[in-house]
Amino acid sequence: MNSDLAGLARGKNFFGILGAGIIKDWKVILTIVLCNVLSAFTVANFILPYRFPDLGVTGVAFLVYYVIGFPPSVIIAVGNVLLLAWGRKNLNERFLWLTICSIASFTITLPIFSAFPLDLPHDRFMATVISGVLRGVAGGIILNTGGSGGGTDIIAMVFRRRYGIEVGQFSIAINLCILALSMGVVGMHSVVYGAVGLYVFGITLDSVMLRFDRRKQAFIITNIPDEVSAFITSHGKGVTRIEARGMYTGESRPVLMSLLEPRHVVMLKGFLQEKDPKAFVSICDAAEVLGRGFKSWESL
């Protein structure tokens, strides 16, 4: 009886956390749902009709569909549920329920788009490029929200939290096995086209993620630090003042550090050109920024 009550309490606690999370991050969830709708549309119209292979759980589901016609959405849902059950103790709650929303929205909308396919020109190369671009955009946006599309992403998160390692080599081995199996089902030509699509997908996904995270890191040495700081903060950006000493002159000089968007860098240069043309400025790319006002630590 006590164990039953404890299980019921845990279930209520999980659904309570899920409900609170949905209310708190409804914009993120809406973004994830829309991205998965786009992914499902892409799969239904640019991958399955051409018998292209895929990777991970989705790749296995596609193979089963090509061989016996079993709905891929069912296999994707079951496979991801098993992976989530296996790794749930090592996944933070936000990642867990965002991934559940992602999987649910994809598996629900995929059969809908499959039932009403578009009448598209049968150009296999165009289809593989379009599929790579659209899925790359959707996947990059989803990863930037702190969620995932499930599958090997779940394995990667669990291995990183359990052992502190990435699973790149493991994922490559698994996906090579899936592609090898695909060759026997769909043939060499489809595997090559599918590999091209996956390459385009990877390039697009990386580009989208960098687009979201990239900032310009500016270090400024100026005679008017207060005015420059006021200018930067007036445009909604933070600035940190660091007390430093020039080793050549021996003078104490403040150094301002700020993370800016490219358009703000242009504005800052114009301001310094007018107000302090003798200022020293160093601008470099910050590929990823974590903290308040940028990517949340919860998204990791």
pLDDT of 1-46, one tens digit each?
A: 444 544 444 555 555 555 665 666 778 889 999 999 999 999 999 9
Looking at the domain assignment, is residue 167 inside a domain? Answer: yes
Residue 227 and residue 167 share a domain: no
Identify the band that residue 126 occupies on the pLDDT scale cut at 50, 70 and 90. very high
What pLDDT was estimated at residue 1? Answer: 47
Percent of the chain with pLDDT over 70: 81
Which among 192, 212, 232 is the end of a domain? 212
Residue 170 and residue 45 share a domain: yes
The reported pTM is 0.68
Residue 170 and residue 89 share a domain: yes
Residue 223 and residue 206 share a domain: no
Residue 277 and residue 161 share a domain: no
What pLDDT was estimated at residue 288? Answer: 61
Residue 174 has pLDDT above 80, yes or no: no
What b/e string do you get for 225-258 counting C-beta neighbours within 10 Å, with b at 16 or more? Answer: beebbebbeeeebebeeeeeeeeeeeeeebbbeb
Residue 203 and residue 250 share a domain: no
What pLDDT was estimated at residue 254? Answer: 87
Mean pLDDT lowest among 143-157, 185-199, 235-249: 143-157
Residue 273 and residue 132 share a domain: no
What pLDDT was estimated at residue 289? Answer: 55
> What's the CATH code of the domain at 287?
3.30.70.120
Residue 181 and residue 45 share a domain: yes
CA distance 130 to 29: 25
pLDDT in tens, 251-297: 788 889 888 877 778 788 888 888 888 888 888 876 565 555 555 54
Which among 175, 191, 212 is the end of a domain? 212
Instruction: Copy the structure tokens of residue 296.
Output: 């949340």
Residue 261 and residue 188 share a domain: no
CA distance 267 to 273: 10
Report the number of distinct structural domains present in the chain. Answer: 2
What pLDDT was estimated at residue 44? Answer: 92
Looking at the domain assignment, is residue 168 inside a domain? Answer: yes
Rounded (10°) CA dihedral 162, 164, 168, 172: -30
> Which residue matches tokens 């490219």?
262
Looking at the domain assignment, is residue 5 inside a domain? Answer: no
Residue 248 and residue 208 share a domain: no
pLDDT mean over 118-139 = 88
Which among 194, 212, 230 is the end of a domain? 212
The one-letter code for the residue type at 238 is G
Residue 283 and residue 157 share a domain: no
Domain range enclosing 225: 215-299
pLDDT in tens, 40-99: 999 999 999 999 998 888 999 999 999 999 999 999 999 998 988 888 877 777 778 888
Residue 236 and residue 167 share a domain: no
Percent of the chain with pLDDT over 90: 22
Instruction: Copy the structure tokens of residue 197.
Output: 């699509």
Looking at the domain assignment, is residue 134 inside a domain? Answer: yes
Mean pLDDT lowest among 19-28, 125-134, 150-159, 218-227: 19-28
pLDDT mean over 212-231 = 83
How distant is the alpha carbon of residue 70 from its chain centre?
29
Sheet holding 215-221, edge to edge: 240-245, 252-260, 215-221, 280-286
